[in-house]
Copies of this chain bind each other. A is one copy, B any other.
Amino acid sequence: MIVIESVAGMQAQSRNWQQSGESIALVATMGNLHQGHISLVDIAKNKADRVVVSIFVNPTQFAEGEDLDTYPKTWDADKTACELAGVDCIFFPGESEMYYKNKSIGVSEESLSQSLCGASRPGHFSGVVTVVAKLFNICLPDYAVFGRKDFQQLSIIKRLVRDLNFPIEILEGDIIREADGLAMSSRNQYLSADERLAALLINQSLHAAELLYESGEKQCSALIRRFLETAEQVGLRIDYAEIRSVEHLELLEMVFEQSVFAVAVYVGDTRLIDNVVLKSTEI
């Protein structure tokens, strides 16, 4: 496994692979790798000849007051995890390698990014799509793998690829959960023992709503009420709990098409997200 810190070095490596006819898959991360990330690496390995993991805590996607400074950095463990997972190359740039001080070009998304996390985190998705566009141009992948846990991010990145014509296929990874159901996240480690227990209610409440849906309830307000009545029991502070169409993230009143029930919840000071896809089934 090689580690490359420079943009020019990464582009040269990817060009080399391209010219020997090898396909490349990218897993873009902010490091602090857990089983969720590794599941994306596995998808990448199944599809491409070469797997690149980028590790870059991108400052431009953190809003003022968010956890940029405390975001966990675990380089040695990340490197070992990548080696064990069979990654070919880690792209590990410093901030000054990624951004000029007088940078003035930005990519933005003006539709899918307006709701859900985009509404609570101003500038977040502009930061995300800009850095992902850069990573695409630096790593030159044929495939890029993103997890469904960041459902809105995944939708927006698919839109980025479509609207700017990146010659890249986006692959999707399922949400990976701890044994007790909590969706894996680097931010889980911010939780105290009590908060960790309370956080379990996020997935459990989503699951309660899913069961209600499967029993025949199609009214979004009823499904959301079911989520809230269990989640709010333990004092979780709800940022949003919404049911939206899968492709265009349109707010729904009734679940008649494939939909995503997406939530963001504060557990203490920690903001966690989770979601469940409500499959469109005939009753």
- A contact residues vs B (CB 8 Å cutoff): 7, 11, 15, 18-19, 21, 100, 102-112, 129-130, 133-134, 137-138, 140, 159-160, 162-167, 248
Contact = CB atoms under 8 A, between A and B. Distances in A.
A164 B21 CA distance: 25
A107 B104 contact: no
A83 to B, nearest CB: 26
A110 B108 CA distance: 12
Contact of A11 (B105, B162, B167): B167
Nearest to A130: B164
The number of times this chain is found in the oligomer is: 2
A205 to B, nearest CB: 31
A100 B134 CA distance: 23
A104 B109 contact: yes
Closest 7 CB pairs of A and B: A104-B111, A105-B163, A137-B165, A134-B165, A103-B163, A138-B165, A11-B167
Contacts of A21: 19
Given A18-B18, A21-B19, A105 B165 contact: no
Contact of A105 (B105, B160, B248): B160
Contacts of A137: 164-167
A105 B109 contact: yes
